[in-house]
Amino acid sequence: MTVHILHSLQQISAREWDGLLPATAQPFQQHAFLSSLEDSGSAVLGCGWQSSHRLWRDERGNAQAVLPAWVKSHSRGEYVFDWAWADACQRAGIAYYPKLLSGVPFTPVVGPRLLGQPSALSSLLEQGVAELAEQGISSWHINFTLPEEGALLAQQQGWLQRLGCQFHWHNHGYRDFQDFLDSFTSRKRKQLRKEREQLAGQGLEFDWRSGSQLSEAEWDFVYACYANTYWVRGQQPYLTRLFFSLLAERMPQSIRVVLARQHGRPVAMAFSLQGADCLYGRYWGCLIDFNFLHFETCLYQGIDQAIAQGLARFDAGAQGEHKLIRGFEPQLTESWHYLCHPGLRTAVADFLQQERPALQAYAEQARQALPYRQG
Question: Residue 44: CB partners within 8 Å, gap ≥ 6?
Answer: 38, 50, 51
- State how far the Cα of 142 lies from the Cα of 371, in Å rounded to an integer: 34
Which amino acid is located at 269 in the chain?
A: M
> Does 345 fall in a domain?
yes
SS3 1: coil
> Does 200 fall in a domain?
yes
- State how far the Cα of 355 lies from the Cα of 119, in Å rounded to an integer: 31
Q: Do 52 and 193 fall into the same domain?
A: no
- Cα separations (Å) of 270 from 118, 226, 252, 267? 35, 8, 15, 11
pLDDT value for 22: 87
> Does 49 fall in a domain?
yes
SS3 346: helix
Is the distance from CB of 26 to CB of 280 less than 8 angstroms? yes
pLDDT value for 121: 84
Q: Do 294 and 364 fall into the same domain?
A: no
> Does 298 fall in a domain?
yes
Q: Do 235 and 339 fall into the same domain?
A: no
Is the distance from CB of 139 to CB of 338 less than 8 angstroms? yes
Task: Note down the domain range covering 287.
Answer: 172-311
- Cα separations (Å) of 124 from 56, 68, 213? 8, 11, 41
- Cα separations (Å) of 371 from 302, 322, 326, 329? 18, 12, 7, 10
Q: Do 233 and 343 fall into the same domain?
A: no
> Does 317 fall in a domain?
no
Q: Do 243 and 114 fall into the same domain?
A: no
Number of folded domains that form the chain: 2
> Does 120 fall in a domain?
yes
Q: Do 155 and 31 fall into the same domain?
A: yes
> Does 374 fall in a domain?
no
- Cα separations (Å) of 199 from 30, 89, 193, 365? 37, 49, 10, 31
pLDDT value for 120: 86
Q: Do 303 and 354 fall into the same domain?
A: no
Give average pLDDT by consecutive 10-residue segment, the chain, 375 residues: 93 97 91 99 98 95 95 97 96 97 97 90 90 94 96 96 98 98 97 93 95 98 98 97 98 98 96 98 96 97 98 93 96 98 97 98 97 89
Q: Do 247 and 212 fall into the same domain?
A: yes
- State how far the Cα of 178 lies from the Cα of 183, in Å rounded to an integer: 9
Q: What is the CA 143 to chain-centroid distance, rounded?
A: 10
Q: Do 231 and 127 fall into the same domain?
A: no
Q: Do 65 and 118 fall into the same domain?
A: yes
pLDDT value for 25: 85
Is the distance from CB of 279 to CB of 309 less than 8 angstroms? yes
Which H helix or E strand runs over 164? strand 160-170
Q: Do 153 and 176 fall into the same domain?
A: no
Tell me the CATH number at 45.
3.40.630.30
- State how far the Cα of 259 lies from the Cα of 266, in Å rounded to an integer: 7
Q: Do 97 and 41 fall into the same domain?
A: yes
> Does 202 fall in a domain?
yes
pLDDT value for 78: 97
SS3 203: coil
